[in-house]
Chain A
């Protein structure tokens, strides 16, 4: 299989497929594979069936190399969806230099959800993408690139409670998967670029579907600690525990 520079993993819950495919067609200016997961039982999708047809490929621009669509159950929120796509990526033996994780985030229970989405999606705009690629090329110790304001340190969080910094789930999963990061920096919102090889190495060792089977069902919020919430941190810490850094753009 030809290598392309980028594979996008996009998890969709709220529909509007045309909007997202047009977005990728407009912003991606080098060859890319698109792994697109749609939650089959989402109300926003069952109410408007037949959206995911072959004609969507035309909207995705001339640089779309291959499109892989999955229709998953609602488990583990966007983390669960991205694990389904990681499983597909490995099974199909597709390879790329970078993986871009995205999802159609709305955060309906936050009063600044729209603003938050715009902040996170900056990294998928073409003018920022060129900066991201330059960082990866010139700074080999960078493993993850994300929007500057989305990078947090768990120790500095407003919610400085044991539940968050050291929840039972986080402790258990760190031991189970051998993830011991030097610090607690992570990307809130789970939208970032990562060197594909780092995820490939981890998920070839630990089955993404097995990890997904342990996540919570439905759209759990971050009011209480959950495994999905823990994996939002661990997806970054698996990179930093290998000595790589998170860089903001």
Chain B
């Protein structure tokens, strides 16, 4: 699909844990209690690889580091959704100003686990944020919202749709696919541009990951090379050679060459000619 579709699924639904072929992102509504996060983690762990999932946390109190770590553990799941290579999480605050402190705690916990950043969206469940609830009698409203999104000049994040059953997800996606088909027929050039934009963004994100990974690996390999150089046998031998031979005076070395000839270890002509064989073996 041209825009991101976020299916907001409440607790009693995701506990059923059966998600088939879904194009959009399954947004699991959770509170911050340890038991609910654990249940959700177990459900998400068992989802097939192709499904994309993210969390939607309703916060009514600050979170501690243990709770933050529980949430960060989701980001390690194969199925967890990232936006521009950054794990994405939605937050709804039930008390004013709570979202800011919770966001700061989550970002600190994520950085402690090695993430450069995470993306936190504050979702108020109203029309302003492209949020709508799917009901049997409001399909035209959803079509209209998606049409506006597709025709917008600036790329909006996507559409957040609260669903009441797992079958709703399939119905919503079928509905939105039809809207896209109609958009393609009515504005083919704009459709193509948006499609290409989507493909290029994805490629850029992939290349950014490769570039960053290559940069890190070069630093690591340079460090390995330094370690090898400092501890190598070649360095040890070089140091031995330098200290035992190289530092001796030239006249002493030349006397040694003559001695080798007298002992039969070196050819006489090699004392005057660099192009003849020096040593007998």
Contacts and interface: CB of A to CB of B under 8 A. Distances in A.
Contacts of A71: 76-78
Given A41-B209, A92-B42, A72 B76 contact: yes
B113 A212 contact: yes
Interface stretch (B52-60, B227-235, B254-262): B227-235
Given A68-B45, A109-B224, A209 B69 contact: yes
18 contacts: A42-B213, A43-B210, A43-B213, A45-B213, A47-B210, A52-B49, A54-B49, A70-B77, A75-B113, A88-B76, A91-B42, A92-B45, A111-B232, A111-B233, A209-B69, A210-B65, A212-B113, A218-B219
B263 interface: no
By DSSP majority rule, is chain B's interface helix, strand, loop, or mixed? Answer: helix
Contact residue range for chain A? 35 or more
Contacts of A93: 42
A84 interface: yes
Top 5 nearest A-B pairs by Cβ distance?
A73-B114, A75-B114, A213-B112, A43-B217, A109-B227
A109 B49 contact: no
Contact of B228 (A75, A88, A111): A111
B109 interface: yes
A46 interface: yes
Nearest to A93: B42
B41 A91 contact: yes
Contact of B113 (A49, A88, A209): A209
B66 interface: yes
A49 B212 CA distance: 15
B213 A41 contact: yes
B224 A108 contact: yes
B135 interface: no
B210 A41 contact: no
Given A92-B41, A210-B66, 20 more contacts: A41-B209, A42-B217, A43-B210, A46-B209, A49-B206, A52-B49, A54-B49, A69-B49, A70-B76, A70-B77, A71-B76, A72-B76, A73-B115, A87-B73, A88-B45, A91-B42, A91-B45, A92-B42, A209-B72, A219-B220
Interface string A55-86: 00000000000001111111100001000100
A207 interface: yes
A42 B66 CA distance: 27
B78 A72 contact: no
A136 to B, nearest CB: 28
B60 to A, nearest CB: 23
A109 B223 CA distance: 8
A53 interface: yes
Given A70-B76, A210-B66, A217 B114 contact: yes
Interface of B: 38, 41-42, 45, 48-49, 65-66, 69-70, 72-73, 76-78, 109, 112-115, 206, 209-210, 212-214, 216-217, 219-221, 223-224, 227-228, 232-233
A221 interface: yes
A26 to B, nearest CB: 23
Nearest to B217: A43
Given A70-B78, A111-B233, A210 B69 contact: yes
A221 B227 CA distance: 9
B95 to A, nearest CB: 27
B213 A46 contact: yes
A172 to B, nearest CB: 18
Contacts of A2: none
B261 to A, nearest CB: 38
A175 interface: no
Contacts of B210: 43, 46-47
Contacts of A80: 114
Interface in A203-225: 207, 209-210, 212-214, 217-219, 221, 223
A81 B57 CA distance: 26
Interface string A105-136: 00011010000000000000000000000000
B114 A74 contact: yes
B105 to A, nearest CB: 13
Interface in A158-216: 207, 209-210, 212-214
